[in-house]
Amino acid sequence: MIEKYDPEKVELKWQKYWEEKEIFKTPNDFTKKKFYCLEMFPYPSGKIHMGHVRNYAIGDVIARYKRMRGFNVLHPMGWDAFGLPAENAAIEHGVHPAKWTYENIEYMKRQLKRMGFSYDWSREVTTCEPEYYKWNQWFFLKMYEKGLAYRKASFVNWCPSCATVLANEQVVDGGCWRCDTEVIQKELPQWFLRITAYAEELLQGCEELLEGWPEHVVTMQRNWIGKSEGVEMDFPVADSELKIRIFTTRPDTLWGATFVCLAPTHPLAEKLTKDRSKLERIKSKYGMMEEKEGLFTGRYAINPMNGEKIPIWVANFVLMEYGTGAIMSVPAHDQRDFEFAKKYGLPIRVVIQPEKGKLKEPLEEAFEEPGVVVNSGEFSGLNSDEAKKRIGEFIEAHGLGEVKINYRLRDWGISRQRYWGTPIPIVYCDSCGIVPVPESQLPVMLPENVTLTGKGESPLSQIEDFINTTCPSCGGKAKRETDTMDTFVDSSWYFLRYCTSKESEPLQTEALHYWMPVDQYIGGVEHAVLHLLYSRFFTRVLRDIGILDFSEPFKNLLTQGMVCKETIKCPLHGWLLPDEVENNRCIKCGSEVQRGRVEKMSKSKKNVVDPDYLIKKYGADTSRLFSLFAAPPEKDLEWSDQGIEGAHRFLGRVWNLVQVNADPLRNTKDRPVHINKNNEKLARKVHQSIKKVTEDIENRYQFNTAIAAMMELFNELSSFRPSSNEDWSVMRFGVRTLLLLLSPFAPHITEELWEVIGESPSILQQPWPEWDEALAKEPEIELVIQVNGKVRAKEIVPAGLSDDELRQRALSSERIKKFINGKPIKKVIVVKGRLVNIVI
RNA sequence: GCGAGAGUGGCGGAACUGGUAGACGCGCUGGACUUAGGAUCCAGUGGGAUAACCCGUGGGGGUUCGAGUCCCCCCUCUCGCACCA
């Protein structure tokens, strides 16, 4: 009687072994070839979810595989530990954010260890520790020195009732998430990082990324940066010295400008508008997308191109943050201007005609395409592209303005009116003004004694001990900055911190130059823009202050799909858990339930699967294997209860096969492997499997097909009946190979069975198997014979026949003769070693 | 609206540069072993016709000896951006 597969017993045994022997510890041995495998670190929200399991299972396969291939692999893990949920927990349950965070970390760390991921925990990074955030502050000071960090007034979401600043995700339908009061925009001085200084470089850098990043992510980065070329020029205000500077990408439509629009917060809007209450009303509608609203200032501007007097309006859809905060409006050729002109009865003048035909007036919508310029003085008759160029030159030559490039990308506002974050190392002194905290005084510690209420401007401003300080410059009384940093700052460089050991400072260039850049980064697409862009920005800043010698932090990026599951909905009780349903009816009210769509797992939709439950029921190996087998990594994965049973069954079969044959396997020597008539098919399959699995991992991270190949190998092994020592040598070769191939996917069971067949641990320290191309080749092929493109016969023929021989074989086939039936043959196509197509 | 991606058996998914569509798994059917089996093992499984055969990769055209794969048009779904002048 063989031992039954008991995942928990096996997994705990090997996890203990790995930990005791420090198998996952990565030496800083700078002479070996390196591989840096990084997965996005989690926010310690409480427990890991299936998204984490999938993400980290993918990363672990890559890390273990690369290690077996002989690389010195850096595979670290840490915690994105600052953030809002910790503060909410404090407000709701009275537990200190630090306590809440560290307890969550402890729990989740145990879960990750229980999954058997091969992390070097000695390099663990926790961003809320002073040793970590000290460097956030250090980078901030460096940026301040270089003029890359600056302070300016900006708007925040403000709840008048709670008297507090709200994050975007705390604004629900324009109201406060807690009290539903309407959220208003309040202006506060805040700190910004000048990412726009790197806009062009970040855009150019996208070229370099294309090799290793998914194209759609690169596109998203490009769009986010949003480069547009145009001109900036002044429109003088009639009867005054004032000028309105506008930006346009369509200088070819200048003659079609029939009014000018200012953003409601534009400085001239106040100056030019008589009716202040109306202006305030427009301001309150700023950025509301539903309806365009405007206000005529009563003043006019002069179009410098044709001297025309056109009205100046204030419009809610004009953004102060982009361009100059003012636009010329060409309703005939811009849909937004068109809608605005229609609403307020402003003139619409066509100045671009399509290449073919003529626009029908009055227009029903704006004609936005390029075309031929008309009604535009000396520029009439040119096409749009030519006109843009010539008008741009004209404007510059006459000092009316300049050709200009604008970016959609804006500077990064990092101030948060929050407690649980990195204090911004700045002091305000009555006599010296803004004074940076000297490096020697870092870190500016986050005080512990805080009461969080969720009210008031910034929690730190309540703590007298914290705010009151002395000016580093004059020694007089001064007050500290009370805002903390956006947590994206923490995640913009954490991958550097892993490179050095925990005791040392993070900016040792030797270690950084050896490990960086990250060879493979893995995470969700939700970070396709911000986190990745900020990291690319930080990397460049650090390069420019001489710490790094490259620009792109992540060479290859893999964005894994979401983990989804079917949802169930009761017409009365909403989303239901699977065990709230019996015979397709809700157990509460008996109504028939709707088996809903497959959606991303989320607690609110009650379609989650808890990793703890899976580990308990099936073990870590099965959980990992299924999440890698059910779909290719970048696609969404649909959860299936039967699917995981299948994965579990497979491991169980592998277990049984090895256990049943344990004695002969153990008593067979590894080499030589004797191939004979009886076992050559299996031997070939082994070589083919090594090839397939290796290529699937190496070339395209196709873990699902790699696993399928291992299942095929297993099927071959389990139907093999060894009858001689030679057979056993091949059997052992096959089992040994299967265990090695499977070990990155299911590390525990393979480690155990590795020992069962008489090998010594750890399987992770074994070299990856290699295949022999000659032995992987099939001696015979199945020749497909088509007549007029339809398969009519299949024949087994020796491999390596010439085209001519294949043609002869095809034409002499009895079945094929019937189809040809004496008709003349027009053509015969031979696909080498595969197929013959006879055209009649 | 713009941009990207995807539509293949009952289901998840295979199919490298155009060359046997449906690998592998799930489910289903039949059988074996069992007091029993929702455990395990064996066999079968795209649809249709009792066989030779016909039809099949969202729909419609096209290129080709040959199309899931290439080109054009259309439909559906998912994701991202969304007044960026």
| A224, closest nucleotide (Cα–C1') | B81
Label residue A520 by pLDDT band (50, 70, 90): very high
Higher per-residue pLDDT: A579 or A674: A674
Q: What is the spatial distance, in angstroms and rounded to an integer, between the CA atom of A478 and the C1' atom of B41? A: 81
Phi, psi of A296 (to 5 degrees): -80, 130
Q: Mean pLDDT highest for which of A316-325, A356-365, A755-764, A808-817?
A: A755-764
Instruction: Transcribe A653-691 into DSSP letters.
Output: HHHHHHHHTHHHHHTS-SS-----TTTHHHHHHHHHHHH
pLDDT at position A22: 96
pLDDT in tens, A384-398: 889 999 999 999 999
Looking at the predicted structure, is the pLDDT value of residue A287 above 70?
no
| 3-state SS assignment for residue A437 | coil
* CB A761 within 7 Å, strand B: no
Contact A725, A671 (CB under 8 A): no
pLDDT at position A154: 82
Token pair belonging to A577 = 């858990």
pLDDT in tens, A426-455: 999 999 999 999 999 989 999 998 888 877
For residue A21, how far is the Cα from the chain centroid?
A: 34
Share of chain A above pLDDT 90, in %: 60
pLDDT at position A179: 73
* CB A782 within 7 Å, strand B: yes
User: Mean pLDDT across the stretch A309-326?
Assistant: 91
* CB A91 within 7 Å, strand B: no
- Cβ neighbours of residue A234 closer than 8 Å, sequence gap 6 or more: A243, A244, A245, A246, A304, A400, A401
| A702, closest nucleotide (Cα–C1') | B14
pLDDT at position A187: 82
DSSP classification of residue A518: B
pLDDT in tens, A632-652: 999 988 888 889 999 999 999
User: Mean pLDDT across the stretch A117-130?
Assistant: 96
* CB A799 within 7 Å, strand B: no
- Separation CA A170–CA A172 (nearest Å): 6
Contact A179, A172 (CB under 8 A): no
| A315, closest nucleotide (Cα–C1') | B83
pLDDT in tens, A449-502: 888 887 777 889 889 999 999 999 999 999 999 999 999 999 999 999 999 877
* CB A834 within 7 Å, strand B: yes
Q: What is the spatial distance, in angstroms and rounded to an integer, between the CA atom of A284 and the C1' atom of B7? A: 45
* CB A602 within 7 Å, strand B: no
pTM recorded for the entire structure: 0.92
> Within a 10 A sphere around the Cβ of A369, how many other Cβ atoms?
10
| A645, closest nucleotide (Cα–C1') | B26
pLDDT in tens, A177-195: 777 777 777 888 999 999 9
pLDDT at position A169: 67
Phi, psi of A354 (to 5 degrees): -60, 160
Q: Which of residues 157-216 of A touch strand B (CB under 7 A)?
A: 215-216
- Which bases of strand B have any atom within 7 Å of the beta carbon of a protein residue? 3-5, 11-15, 19-21, 23-27, 39-43, 53-54, 65-67, 79-81, 83-85
